[in-house]
Amino acid sequence: MAITPMMQQYLTIKEEHKDAILFFRLGDFYEMFFEDAVLTSRELELTLTGKDCGLAERAPMCGVPYHAVDTYLGRLIQKGYKVAICEQMTDPDGKGLVERAVTRVVTPGTVIEQSMLEDREPSYILCLSIKGDRAGAAFCDLSTGEFWVYPIASIKNRLAEELSRLNPRELLVASRAQLMGISAQIGCPVTEGNPGSFVYKNALAALNAHFAALETGSPGLKGEKLLVEAAGALMRYLTDTQKNALGHILKIKRFESARYMTIDRAASTSLELVEAGRARTRKGSLLWTLDKTVTAMGGRMLRSWIEQPLLDKAEIEARLDAVAHLKGNAIGAESLREQLRGVYDVERLLSRIAYDSVTPRECLSLARSLSAVPYVKDLLRDMDAGALSAVDALLDPMEALVALLDRAISPDAPVSVKEGGIFRAGYEERLDRLRSAATDGKNWIAQLEQQERDETGIKNLKIGFNRVFGYYIEVTRSFYDLVPYRYVRKQTLAGCERFVTQELKEIEKTVLGADDQAMRLEYELFSAIRARLKEALPGLQATAQGLKTLDALLSLAQAALENDYVRPDIHEDGPIEIEDGRHPVVEQAIGRERFVPNDTRITDESRLMIITGPNMAGKSTYMRQVALIALMAQVGSFVPARTARLPIVDRIFTRIGASDDLYGGQSTFMVEMTEMANILKHMTDRSLLILDEVGRGTSTFDGLSIAWAAVEHIAGKRAKTLFATHYHELSELEGRLDGVANYRITAREQGEDVIFLRKIVPGGADRSFGVAVASLAGLPSSLIARARQIMARLEVEGELGGSIGRSILDKRKNAGDRQIRLNDYGAAELAEELKKVDVMALTPVDALNMLYTLVEKARRV
User: Would you give the binding string for ligand ADP spanning residues 103-142, x where CB under 6 A is met?
Assistant: ----------------------------------------
What is the SS3 string spanning 574-601? CCEEEEEECCCCHHHHHCHHHCCCEEEE
Question: For ligand ADP, which residue of 107, 242, 549, 620 counts as binding (CB under 6 A)?
Answer: 620
Indicate the residue type of 442: K
Q: Of 683 and 754, which CB lies nearer to ligand ADP in the complex structure?
A: 754
Candidate list 210, 300, 726, 758; residue touching ligand ADP; CB under 6 A? 758
Query: Taking CB under 6 A as the rule, does residue 595 contact ligand ADP?
Result: yes
Closer residue to ligand ADP in complex, CB, 160/632: 632
504 or 578: CB nearest ligand ADP: 578
Q: How far is the CB of 623 from ligand ADP (least distance, A)?
A: 8
Distance from chain centroid for Cα 577: 34
With respect to ligand ADP, which residue has the nearer C-beta, 110 or 620? 620
Query: Is 618 a binder of ligand ADP (CB under 6 A)?
Result: yes
Whichever of 209 and 596 has its CB closer to ligand ADP, that residue is 596
Taking the complex as a whole, how short is the minimal distance between the CB of residue 281 and ligand ADP, in angstroms? 17
For residue 657, the 8-state DSSP code is -
Cβ nearer to ligand ADP, comparing 115 with 750: 750
The single-letter code of the amino acid at 299 is G
CB of 327 to ligand ADP, least distance (A): 25
Residue 671, phi then psi, degrees to nearest 5: -60, -45
Site for ligand ADP in 563-592 (CB under 6 A): 586, 590
Among residues 295, 549, 612, 621, the one that binds ligand ADP under rule CB under 6 A: 621
DSSP class of 28:
T
696 binds ligand ADP (CB under 6 A): no
Residue span binding ligand ADP (CB under 6 A) among the ranges 126-134, 469-477, 498-506, 611-619: 611-619
DSSP, res 427? S
Residues 554, 322: contact at Cβ < 8 Å?
no
For ligand ADP, give the closer residue by CB, 109 or 597: 597
The nearer residue to ligand ADP, 407 or 594, going by C-beta atoms, is 594
Stretch that binds ligand ADP, among 421-429, 469-477, 613-621, 805-813 (CB under 6 A): 613-621
Instruction: Say if CB 703 and CB 727 are below 8 A apart.
Output: yes
Minimum distance, C-beta of residue 200 to ligand ADP, in the bound complex (Å): 53
* Cα 225 to chain centroid, rounded: 31
Min separation Cβ 855 and ligand ADP, Å: 28
- Among the candidate windows 367-375, 609-617, 670-678, 681-689, which touches ligand ADP by CB under 6 A? 609-617
How many C-beta neighbours within 10 Å does residue 448 have?
17
Are 684 and 651 spatial neighbours (Cβ–Cβ below 8 Å)? yes
Reference 128, options 146, 154, 108; nearest CA is 154
CA 364 to chain centre: 27
Examine residue 596 and tell whether it contacts ligand ADP (CB under 6 A).
Answer: yes
How big is the site for ligand ADP, counted in residues (CB under 6 A)? 14
- Shortest separation between residue 233's beta carbon and ligand ADP, angstroms: 47
Nearer to ligand ADP, 429 or 593 (CB): 593
The smaller minimum CB distance to ligand ADP, of residues 589 and 839, is found at 589
- Least spacing, CB of residue 742 vs ligand ADP, in Å: 15
308 interacts with ligand ADP by CB under 6 A: no
Q: By CB under 6 A, is residue 617 in contact with ligand ADP? A: yes
How many Cα atoms within 13 Å fall on the side-chain side of residue 585? 26
Q: Which of 570/616 has CB closer to ligand ADP?
A: 616
In three-state secondary structure terms, 391 is helix
Cα separation, 567 vs 859, in Å, equals 58
User: In this structure, what DSSP letter does residue 61 have?
Assistant: E
**Does residue number 616 form part of the binding site for ligand ADP (CB under 6 A)?**
yes
Paired sense of beta strands 29-33 and 100-106, if any: unpaired
**CA 501 to each of CA 392, 482, 512: distance values in angstroms, whole numbers, following the listed order:** 67, 15, 16
User: Among residues 619, 726, 728, 821, which is the contact residue for ligand ADP, using CB under 6 A?
Assistant: 619
How many Cβ atoms are within 10 Å of 563's Cβ, its own excluded? 17
User: Binding to ligand ADP by residue 757, rule CB under 6 A?
Assistant: no
Q: Closer to ligand ADP by CB, 121 or 580: give it.
A: 580
In the complex, least distance from residue 691 CB atom to ligand ADP, rounded to whole angstroms: 12
- Closer of 75 and 283 to ligand ADP (Cβ): 283
Q: Which stretch binds ligand ADP (CB under 6 A): 263-271, 618-626, 788-796, 825-833?
A: 618-626
d(CA 426, CA 740): 80
- Complex with ligand ADP: residue 260 or 723, whichever CB lies closer: 723
Distances (CA, A) of 196 to 175, 479, 501: 11, 77, 67
Q: Taking CB under 6 A as the rule, does residue 828 contact ligand ADP?
A: no
Taking CB under 6 A as the binding criterion, the range among 614-622, 727-735, 762-770, 846-854 that sits at the site for ligand ADP is: 614-622
Kindly tell me which of 369 and 621 has the beta carbon lying closer to ligand ADP: 621
Tell me the pairing of strands 146-152 and 253-254. parallel
- Residues 743 and 763 sit within 8 Å (Cβ to Cβ): yes
Write the binding mask 166 to 205 for ligand ADP: x where contact by CB under 6 A, - elsewhere. ----------------------------------------
Query: Contact 155/134 with Cβ under 8 angstroms?
Result: yes
Separation of alpha carbons 114 and 121, rounded Å: 12
Nearer to ligand ADP, 61 or 585 (CB): 585
Least separation in angstroms between CB 693 and ligand ADP: 8
Q: What is the DSSP string of 233-297?
A: HHHHHHHHHHTT--TT----EE--GGGB-B--HHHHHHTTSS-BTTTTBSTTSHHHHH---SSHH
Q: CB neighbours of 142 closer than 8 A, spacing ≥ 6?
A: 109, 110, 111, 112, 123, 125, 238, 242, 351
Which 399-458 positions form the footprint of ligand ADP (CB under 6 A)?
Answer: none
Using Cβ positions, the residue closest to ligand ADP within the complex turns out to be: 618
The span of 20-28, 255-263, 412-420, 594-602 binding ligand ADP (CB under 6 A) equals 594-602
Which of these ranges, 182-190, 415-423, 433-441, 593-601, lies near ligand ADP under the rule CB under 6 A? 593-601
Regarding 725 and contact with ligand ADP (CB under 6 A), the answer is: no
Nearer to ligand ADP by Cβ, of 284 and 441: the residue is: 284
- In angstroms, what is the minimal distance from the CB of 724 to ligand ADP? 6
For residue 664, is it left (φ>0), alpha (ψ between -120 and 50) or beta? left
Residues 6+ apart with CB under 8 A from 15: none
- Report the nearest approach of ligand ADP to the CB of residue 590 (Å): 5
744 binds ligand ADP (CB under 6 A): no
Q: What number of CA atoms fall less than 13 Å from residue 258's CA on the CB side?
A: 3
Residue 726, φ and ψ in degrees, nearest 5: -100, 0
Cβ–Cβ under 8 Å, residues 366 and 343: no
3-state helix, strand, coil in the chain (%, to 5): 50, 20, 30
Question: Torsions phi, psi of 109, nearest 5?
Answer: -95, 0
Q: What angle do CA 569, 575, 581 make, to 5 degrees?
A: 60
Span near ligand ADP by CB under 6 A; candidates 202-210, 399-407, 460-468, 619-627: 619-627
CA distance 585 to 605: 30
Residues that bind ligand ADP (CB under 6 A): 586, 590, 594-596, 613, 615-621, 758
